[in-house]
Structure 1
Amino acid sequence: MTTRFGASALAHLIGFAILAAFAASRPSPGQAQSADLVLCDRLAADPADPDKPADVRGVAEIAAADVPTALKFCRSAAGGSRRALYQLGRAQAANQQMPEAVATYRKAADRGSSSAMVELGVLLATGHGIAKDDDQARRLFSRAAEAGNPRGVVNLAALSKAGGPQADPVKSRALLAKAAEANSAEAQYQLGLMMADGTGGPQDDVAARGLFEKAAGQGHAGALERMGAFSLSGRGGPQDKSAARAYFEKAAALGNDDARAALKRAECPYVIKDKRGNVVTNLCF
């Protein structure tokens, strides 16, 4: 264990030494801005941000050890990039600097960042770090949706279900289709769900499966689970139990609870229910 810790610590130090050397070697102000943005992207990019370049992977959550460095480089790059400004807000939120994060998200949203609109809308809808304001949250989600951000569309629909004006499912489907064409995995997944259910337009299992397959190819956990379910039942295409299991395993590895339940059902297919029909347990043989 001591050896592994030492190797990990050494790798961590080497990594930051490389970052420091990279930053120190920047030859001009214009190139300095670009280098800061590269480092900001590496540590704080949002995988679901439509502004993110395709070659930037992004991180679902900024690692605690990376927060100080992300704050530094994103702050430096924020003047010339709305993406970096949004990522600075993410770093501030990760550092529990909520007033600063809210202010930064507002600035990024004013500069057209649809992801900042979504994050600020979430804070307003939940009252986290700011006074709760559903009307303002709805306006932000609507702006993000109009900009083609799939999370804006989904959150607008969710807020509508919680009360207030209902989102137009036809319009939501059209907005998701636009984002799906831009290869957004989340939009492909959400549009697939609408097509599978016949929400906002005709029901189409084949098209839904095609969208799930595209999103699954990008590692989307929900789409992987849906591909497993569609492959298992033969819905929208050929039935393939081996492929279904592979999809479920990939989704489960990414934390999808429905996929984990599907794997358990496959291993333990006999269900014991109580007199009310509630599932008590699964039997494995």
Structure 2
Amino acid sequence: MTNGTERSIARALARALALPTLLLVASTSAALAQSADLVLCDRIAADPADPDKPANVKGVAEIAAGDVETAIKYCRTAAPGSRRAMYALGRAHAAAQQTPEALAAFRKAASKGSTSAMVELGVAYATGAGVTKDEAQARQLFAKAAEAGNPRGISNLAVLGGGASSDPTKTRALLAKSAETNAEAQYQLGLMLAEGVGGPKDDAQARALFDKAAAQGHAGALERMGAFAQAGRGGPQDAAAAKGFYERAAALGNADAAAALKRADCPYSIKDRQGKLVSNLCF
């Protein structure tokens, strides 16, 4: 074998040995680029309540107006390999008021198992936002998310009455699972306990749940705490505390709390011969 032939073989072997390395570098670079897109998507568009969100990702309750276009760009790139990025892409489109695009992203994310996307689709069907209103479809989506343990799925299912008529015991059990941390679940479970729906009536436990949710600024729970404190249900009667709860709830837009405050300020009513309210006497 000549020296020239030997050199040709050596160069061929070198190229063959280098090829896997080059492929590995290219593959690694692509993976790193996709990871960078996902990191940026998470940073500006991740949902703090998304169960798919890693613990080290804080998330944002609302995507800032100035970040919407950037969120769409990076989340769209990361979405094919990440269902949470696909869900975040839906959030970004929703923030841009691009409802068809948002729903399309939510559907794709839900098909990949995103329970947060299932909840968003359920809300759309429950309210008729961008789709024909369909409570049965909404209930089905909420139920699927709830079965997977999504707190919003559980609480929304309860709000919609997903189990109140068919299986209130199951609904109550699902709410109990997420009531440790979720204010809406605490409130909904408190309502069921207060009325004895799906199990024994328990005013003390209901009041404790309302108190937890009220501490997180839940308007409905604040109003219920006012009513329970005023009546002495599930704990001590305290008119001053009741007024404080009502005021906080009313400030958050709760109409029942505002009405309760008005009744407290105007305790006497004037009625006509038929017993209909004509006016209140206020002091």
Which TM-score band applies after superposition, normalised by the shorter structure? Answer: 0.7 to 0.9
Equivalent position of 1:142 in the other structure = 143
Aligned pairs for 1:200-239 within 5 A: 200-239=198-237
User: Residue 40 in 1 paired to residue 45 in 2?
Assistant: yes
- The percentage of counterpart residues that share the same residue type is 64
1:167 maps to a residue whose letter is: S
The structure with the largest alpha-carbon Rg is 2
The 3-state SS of whatever aligns with 1:271 is strand
In structure 2, list runs of 5 or more residues that go unmatched: 1-31
CA deviation profile, 1:178-235 (whole Å, cap 9, x unmatched): 1113x11110110000000000000000000000111111111111111111111111
Equivalent position of 2:121 in the other structure = 120
Shift of 1:38: 2.2
Q: Distance in 2 between matches of 1:175 and 1:80?
A: 31
Shift of 1:58: 4.8
Q: Distance in 2 between matches of 1:203 and 1:91?
A: 43
1:279–1:101: structure 2 CA closer, same or farther, 3 Å change rule? farther
1:269–1:134: structure 2 CA closer, same or farther, 3 Å change rule? closer
Q: Distance in 2 between matches of 1:248 and 1:49?
A: 31
Shift of 1:276: 4.6
Runs of 4+ in 1 over 6 A off after TM superposition: 52-55
2:170 maps to a residue whose letter is: K
Aligned pairs for 1:232-271 within 5 A: 232-271=230-269
Q: RMSD of the TM alignment (CA)?
A: 3.2
Q: Any conservation in 1 of the 2:191–2:206 contact (CA below 8 Å)? A: yes
Q: Any conservation in 2 of the 1:33–1:80 contact (CA below 8 Å)? A: no
Shift of 1:156: 3.8
Shift of 1:265: 1.5
Q: Distance in 2 between matches of 1:55 and 1:109?
A: 21
Question: So what's the TM-score if we normalise by structure 2?
Answer: 0.74
CA deviation profile, 1:48-73 (whole Å, cap 9, x unmatched): 655566995854x6666664455445
Shift of 1:36: 3.6
Equivalent position of 2:12 in the other structure = none
Question: So what's the TM-score if we normalise by structure 1?
Answer: 0.73
Aligned pairs for 1:1-285 within 5 A: 29=33, 30=35, 33-41=38-46, 45=47, 49=50, 56=58, 58-59=60-61, 67-68=68-69, 70-72=71-73, 74-75=75-76, 78=79, 82-156=83-157, 166-181=165-180, 183-285=181-283
The 3-state SS of whatever aligns with 1:167 is coil
2:122 maps to a residue whose letter is: G
The 3-state SS of whatever aligns with 1:282 is strand
1:194 maps to a residue whose letter is: M
Q: Distance in 2 between matches of 1:229 and 1:158?
A: 20
Moved more, 275-284 or 263-272: 275-284
Q: Any conservation in 1 of the 2:90–2:105 contact (CA below 8 Å)? A: yes
2:185 maps to a residue whose letter is: A
Q: Distance in 2 between matches of 1:221 and 1:190?
A: 12
CA deviation profile, 1:128-181 (whole Å, cap 9, x unmatched): 3234445433321210221233543454456568xx994310000000001113
